[in-house]
Amino acid sequence: MKNIITLSVADFKLIFRDPSLRSFLGLPILLFALVIWLLPYLAQTYPGFEPYISVFMVVAAVENTQMFSFISSMVLIDEKENSVAQVYGVVPLSNSEYLLSRLAIPYLFTVCLNVILFIVQPFYHIGLIENISVSMLVGLIVPVYVIGINSIVKNRMQGMVYIKAFNLIVLAPIAAFFIPGKWEWIFGLLPSHWVFQSIQNLTNGEEVWMNLLIGFVFLMIMFLLLSRHFLKKHFN
């Protein structure tokens, strides 16, 4: 516990002292502004807009995950690039403690953002239990993304390229909402599809548990596989 706090404090110092990372902390403010002010305005002004609100909610919730996905990915790429990661390899800190202390705060922070987002959005009545459950699933995108990026890239330059690609992959299943019928299941190969579907269940007042469970299992398996790979190379 002490380790988690010390490391998180250090991580926040790293973020606040790096202008390119610091600016990303503003992303959720922008998203909240869009959802609270712009979307209701659009819905009022253009009557045909209404059916798309739930898609916008999906995008907003997923974009909330992109803040820490980007920031934490960069922090880890940086520490690998200038070999600070090696030092974590020779201190009395187990692999799972390391992962937990680097990812727990970004995860919890993202979950909180989405819980708040689903509370303050003016369009739907969403139960708190469902809200928290779905937000916990959406947040899982962060650790999978961060560990995924860091299993692949070797430096900051590569990082920027792969982050763009990852953003596209995460958002790709949005298309499922516009493609009719059977084809949307293709997107089921991407874990974010199940996250999206459960957010949509939430906004439509439908049963969320099926998509939630599939998404959870999918992301957890991905996380376990990727972290094994990541841990093998991060410290040397």
Task: Give the residues lining the site for another protein (CB under 8 A).
Answer: 2-3, 6-7, 10, 13-14, 17-18, 79, 82-84, 86-87, 89-94, 232, 235-236
CB nearer another protein, residue 5 or residue 179? 5
CB nearer another protein, residue 10 or residue 38? 10
Least spacing, CB of residue 88 vs another protein, in Å: 8
Least spacing, CB of residue 97 vs another protein, in Å: 9
Least spacing, CB of residue 87 vs another protein, in Å: 6
Q: Which residues lie below 8 Å from residue 101, measured CB to CB, with a gap of 6+?
A: 3, 4, 7, 8, 93
Least spacing, CB of residue 26 vs another protein, in Å: 19
Least spacing, CB of residue 138 vs another protein, in Å: 30
User: Can you say how many angstroms the Cα of residue 59 is from the centroid of all Cα atoms in its chain?
Assistant: 11
Three-class secondary structure of residue 124 per DSSP: coil
| Type of residue found at 52 | Y
CA distance 108 to 97: 16
CB nearer another protein, residue 2 or residue 125? 2
Residue found under tokens 């957010």:
199
CA distance 215 to 142: 14
CB nearer another protein, residue 18 or residue 184? 18
**H or E segment at 152?**
helix 141-152
CA distance 11 to 7: 6
CB nearer another protein, residue 45 or residue 82? 82
